[in-house]
Amino acid sequence: MTTSGTAGDGSGRADARTGARVLDATRHPGRRLALTFDDGPNPPDTTRLLAVLRAHGVRAVFFLCGDPALAHPEVVRAIAAGGHVLGNHSMHHDDMSGWPPERIRADLLRTNAAIRAAVPGVPIPYFRAPYGSWGRSPEVARDLGMWSLGWRLAIGDWEPPGTDELVRRLTDGAAPGSVILMHDGGGDRGQTVSAVERFVPRFQALGWSFDDPELGG
Ligand SMILES: [Zn+2]
């Protein structure tokens, strides 16, 4: 359950027929970053990540898959209770790039239902396709009231290459207005959580802040 890809390949596309865009920027300009975490909920890493984000006053987007959401509803509730934003990352982390719209729609609806089984009525404003393999999914997500969110920086935390290396990739790759892709699920993500724990206060001390992602026009 990893999301392969490198910086910049998660976005920047538009569907010529519907205008459904894949977004990748923060909501406000300047020295701001938007943190996103995919493939959870995944205790204990998600639980520790929530404590780190709370300690530094940071709100993030959590792109949940339906299967782990059904397995760990208490963690879905903790994410929502922490004031974070919820996103739809498909039911089973399938590559949807070759799927017809009706199949994508059924999967996205099931995923939203799995999330809302834990937190009834919670807003789910964003969708992200597994592997960044968008196919027809942006137009389907838009019909269901969700914006498609890609990323500008991915740090390869699915490898995983060690906490020091993850901190280095975050520090070197962070640019104003970037959405950053990381993972709290899909495996042992202890290195990711430790990297966030070091990176966030360091960048806050340098005058950066953390923002929500943009909304489509
Ligand atoms: Zn993923």
- The set of residues, in sequence order, having a beta carbon less than 8 Å from that of 125 and lying 6+ positions away, is 85, 86, 87, 145, 146, 147, 215
**CA–CA dist 102, 215 (Å, integer):** 24
Going 84 to 90 to 92 to 98, the CA torsion angle's sign is negative
**What is the pLDDT of the chain when averaged over all its residues?**
93
Residue 27 lies in a domain: yes
Q: Quick one: pLDDT band at residue 6, thresholds 50, 70, 90?
A: very low
- What local confidence, expressed as pLDDT, does residue 4 receive? 41
- pLDDT value of position 11: 52
Which residues sit opposite 148 in a β-bridge?
A: 22, 127
Average pLDDT rounded to a whole number, residues 28-57 = 98
Centre of ligand 1 to C-alpha 77, Å, is 20
Check if 183 is active-site.
yes
pLDDT, residue 173, reads 98
pLDDT in tens, 74-98: 999 999 999 999 999 999 999 999 9
Residue 9 is assigned to a structural domain of this protein: no
Q: Which of 38, 107, 157, 211 is catalytic?
A: 38
Q: For residue 114, is it within any domain?
A: yes
Q: What is the DSSP letter of 84?
A: P
157 within some domain: yes
Tell me what pLDDT residue 20 has. 83
Per-residue pLDDT averaged across 33-45, rounded?
Answer: 98
How far is the centre of ligand 1, averaged over its atoms, from the C-alpha of 29 (Å)? 27
| Distance from Cα 213 to the centre of ligand 1, integer Å | 18
Q: Which CATH number covers residue 100?
A: 3.20.20.370
Instruction: Quote the ligand 1 centre to 181 CA distance (angstroms).
Output: 9
* Domain-embedded: residue 191: yes
| Domain count for the chain | 1
Q: Where residue 19 falls among pLDDT bands split at 50, 70, 90?
A: low
pLDDT of residue 43: 97
CB atoms within 10 A of CB 16: 7
Q: Is pLDDT larger for residue 12 or for residue 193?
A: 193
Q: Give residue 123's pLDDT.
A: 98
Q: 16: CA distance to ligand 1 center in Å? A: 25
pLDDT tens-digit map of 148-184: 999 999 999 999 999 999 999 999 999 999 999 999 9
The pLDDT value given to residue 8: 45
Higher-confidence residue: 11 or 52? 52
Nearest in space to 155 (alpha carbons), one of 179, 123, 186: 179
Domain containing 70 equals: 22-210
Residue 158 falls inside a structural domain? yes
Q: Which of 72, 84, 93, 183 is catalytic?
A: 183
Per the domain annotation, does 6 fall within a domain? Answer: no
38 is catalytic: yes
CA of residue 134 to ligand 1 center, whole Å: 12
Give 116-145 pLDDT, tens digit per residue: 999 999 999 999 999 999 999 999 999 999
Is residue 31 exposed (0-12), middle (13-18) or buried (19+ Cβ within 10 Å)?
Answer: middle
Q: What is the mean pLDDT of residues 95-115?
A: 98
Residue 145 maps to a domain: yes
pLDDT at 5 over 80: no
Q: Write down the H helix ranges in 10-136.
A: 45-55, 66-71, 73-81, 101-118
User: Which two tokens mark 26?
Assistant: 């923060």
